[in-house]
Amino acid sequence: MLGAGIGLLLVSGLLAARLIPASSPPPSAGPLAGAKGHVYVTNQLDNTVSVIDAGSNEVVATVPAGDAPEGIAITPDGRYAYIADNGSATVSVLDTRTNEIATTVPVGHNPTGVGLSPDGGHLYVANGGSDSVSVLDTRTNQVTATVPVGVSPVSVAVSRDGATAYVANSGSHSVSVLDTRTRRVVRNLTAGRSPVSVAIAPDGESAYVANETAATVSVVGVRAGAVTATVPVGEGPFDVALAPDGSRAYAANLGPGTVSVIDTHSHHVSATVAVGPPGTDPFNLAVTPAAVYLTNQGAGTLAVIDPKSLKVAATVTVGTSPYGVAVSP
């Protein structure tokens, strides 16, 4: 999350949000069909997590977390949410039944991104200030390994088979490939300038990497380790996420206040969704079959996008400087 002339000043030591009033699309008359469960949003400058009912798009709880909460991941059974507290060098474990923090776990400096193994047994934490990944056993909530990676790691994605974790290193323009069995980096993939997010295709064959200062998304073949396509998107793409069926990739573009929709077959932008004017600062994405959820750091909102119409269906006011977003199963 290196600077891209967008006026952000992240508490993470990378960029952090200047709060700019921004007009947002009005809420829809009703929720999206099929949306259910809860959506969890970390509010970086409030030190809280907003809990939103996906069926009504209403905030039902606001939970105190650690200092500068950023990335968030939810266990497959929906029982716990794991939150990277960038400012306090911890991971907070949120009990989703009580909406209270059950425990906190010390990790490396400036933890930012988190990724869970498919079975929920291990959490991988990108420590941007330590150039490492902490491996946390979720059964004991203890760190069992610390793995050196590239410079300023920001994002972690775990393959569907759980065998590999991919780490976007914003400072070394690479993606580290971590063998989750040996807990060692087995190779590094080349990406664009300032890679800040990585997502893995459902078939495990391709990694999609958002390159913030390059204003591109790289498509990397994980077998050969080569870039197979480079997709221009909007200024300052800060996150990339894939549709559950892998047919689309979504890139959140900080500068113009848009989301680029990428056809994963042609590797071209097929649509652009406007979520607000410059200063809205679209930040992080979570995608379900029913909805695309997008935190808008500058506007202090969560946008709910209909994946069928590609229109903003609702805008939910959350806390100050919303950062990460995750949806319960």
Residues in the chain: 329
pLDDT digits (tens, 9 = 90+) for 99-129: 999 999 999 999 999 999 999 999 999 999 9
Per-residue confidence (pLDDT) for residue 30, from 0 to 100: 57
Cβ contact 231:269 at 8 Å: yes
Strand partners, 53: 38, 58
11 pLDDT higher than 90: no
Could you give the angle at the alpha carbon of 209 between the alpha carbons of 212 and 93, nearest 5°? 90
Gap between the terminal Cα atoms of the chain: 28
pLDDT digits (tens, 9 = 90+) for 33-85: 888 899 999 999 999 999 999 999 999 999 999 999 999 999 999 999 999 99
Kindly report the number of other CB atoms within 10 A of residue 308's CB atom. 10
For range 6-32, the mean pLDDT: 43
The amino acid occupying position 62 is T
For the chain, what are the domain ranges? 38-269
State the chain's mean pLDDT as an integer.
91
Q: Which fold has domain 38-269?
A: Methylamine Dehydrogenase; Chain H (2.130.10)
15-19, 63-67, 130-134, range with the lowest pLDDT: 15-19
For range 84-99, the mean pLDDT: 98
309: Cβ contacts below 8 Å, ≥ 6 apart: none
For range 177-185, the mean pLDDT: 97
